[in-house]
Structure 1
Amino acid sequence: MMYYYKTTQTPNSLFDIHLKILSKSELKVLLTVIRKTVGIIDITVRNKRIERAWISQRLFSLCTGLSRRAVSTAIDSLVLKDLIIVTNQGGHILKTKNARKGASRLYFSSNSLLEGSYKKKEVSEIICDNPVKKVHTIKQTLIKQSCENISLGIKKLSDKERILQIIHSQNTST
């Protein structure tokens, strides 16, 4: 499977659940975390992906095109939503903005919530919880029926025939 060589696996739950909830900046930051962790093979252990990675504010800004403030806000929000885990160099989890503020290096990893511990459904069954509903219904009249029949290829009318048909339907309805 050569076409998987330069790709990053992304959890289906990101598309099925979180995509409609996340803001653009949150999505960009989350995708950067996924790319820098799951998207890189650990050179010390063969065929294993990096579980956590050091990502600086500057690297986030370069990768996402966001300002440092927007990156910081997105990280805060993703931590609150339990989609990423931020740790310091020693591996201690930093849940609050104040705890992260003094740390020299922040390590990021995606949370197990993102990686598939959600509803036990088949992948093909997972779709948005808000299905599209028919909002407008069209009342079928004789004119609309004749237009529908014409568009179905039953009979094509010339403009003159159509005008006569409309006049005839107006005379019979009055």
Structure 2
Amino acid sequence: MDRIVIVGAGLAGGRVAVELRAAGFTGGIVLLGAEEHLPYDRPPLSKGVLSGRVEETTLPLDLDGVEVRLGQQAVGLRPGAVETDAGPVSYDGLVIATGATPVRLPGEGPQRVLRTIDDARRLRDALKPGVRLVVVGAGWIGAEVATAAAKIGAVVTVVEAADSPLQVALGG
């Protein structure tokens, strides 16, 4: 292989690039990310970033020798090339490390999701004392968002399909 393309410039994609070099791969590595940010840590988004205690969560990854293409979204795949919104990127080897996409509810009402650092910053800016917020899902992220919003003074309602919060994560 001469060139490996990694689709997804989050923690997983960034670690793949670092580990390829550590394992001795000397060919080209292209790290594609739809966001304009270098790989960053996501757990602080629902804790530190929402509360304003943390602004930056960029990971200290050594990406020297890696062609990092931020702001390029993968839109398709064909043998030997990833189609991006900036044109095709050829590869001999491919790693897809894109993660999950948040689920949006059907309907016209305003919705926010929390997946990216930009999502966290927009949500933080919208959270004010007295703002009414409904959090759908009482897993780890939903519980952390509800807690951060309540600490700011928002009026928070949490809706969960399971019998109790964190039931899926902790069992019960």
| TM-score, shorter chain, exceeding 0.5 | no
TM-score between both structures, scaled by the size of structure 1: 0.22
TM-score (norm 2): 0.22
Higher relative helix content: 1
